[in-house]
Amino acid sequence: MTPSPVKTAIITGAAGGIGHALCAEFTAAGWRVIGVDRIADKGKHQWEFLPFDLMELPESPAAAAFFKQVNRICGRKLNALVNNAAVQVVKPIGEVTTGDWDASLRVNLLAPFWLTQRLLPMLKAARGSVVNIASIHARLTKANFSLYAATKGGLVALTRALALELAPEVRVNAVAPAATDTPMLRAGFGKDIRGLKRLGECHPLGRIATPQEVAHAALWLASDKASFVTGTVLDVDGGIGVLLHDPEHN
């Protein structure tokens, strides 16, 4: 029996909490993984790493060099593109700068578009898929998250539009996590351990997500097990997205 060829995935934001889990889960499932991040990854792992700042997209010498490397590594086929990298600006509207908007738009929304566009021939050749890591903030948000909510909402809309445009050759889906236990989230709470615990208790399942749980969802969407799934936004939110907060009946 001829063994199945190894599938290849490109995963952005590979140095972050969810990004690292994505790379690990895809690698454990037998995929060849190319992790991408602007932060140099010096850790020991089983996947390849390409340093690249998504702010360099779509056209720059750095972008040209990046795509040249991708072509060398992947050849003519790419089975999955996982757009995970994100910038989260948390500021009152009066403090938001043009630089904040530029970074949020270019990393959270435009980079997934440009990467999909440039890698589309390889994705089509493999009849592969795109998995966008969106957020619960695309539809349920809170004060001071206007940039993050707007760009993640745009990413969900882009997911659905591209699912139609790229079918049947390429599937396009998204994962929308709620609060996830990453170093970035914990840093936001600092020493407020009780606050972090209360955040988990707000979810019907009584806790926040692990990065691995988000990665499991993304891996399933990229796999052949989801071969009839496209244009879907998969909530990984512990049930908080269906919770009604009634001030009279908590």
Which of 7, 26, 6 minimizes the C-alpha distance to 211? 26
Bridge partners of residue 234, in order along the sequence: 175
**Tokens read off for 131:** 């998995």
Within 10 A of 227 (CB to CB), how many other CB atoms are there?
Answer: 10
Parallel, antiparallel or unpaired: strands 32-37 and 48-51: parallel
Q: How far apart are CA 87 and CA 179, in angstroms?
A: 15
Polymer length in residues for the chain? 250
Q: How far apart are CA 112 and CA 160, in angstroms?
A: 13
- Residues 6 or more apart from 154 whose CB is under 8 A from it? 108, 109
Q: How far apart are CA 238 and CA 213, in angstroms?
A: 11
Burial of 223 (0-12, 13-18, 19+ CB in 10 A): middle
Which of 136, 240, 145, 137 minimizes the C-alpha distance to 198? 240
Can the peptide bond before residue 51 be classed as cis, meaning omega within 30 degrees of 0? no
- Residues 6 or more apart from 97 whose CB is under 8 A from it? none
Is 7 considered catalytic here?
no
Name the catalytic one among 26, 31, 66, 148: 148
Query: So which residues are the catalytic ones?
Result: 148
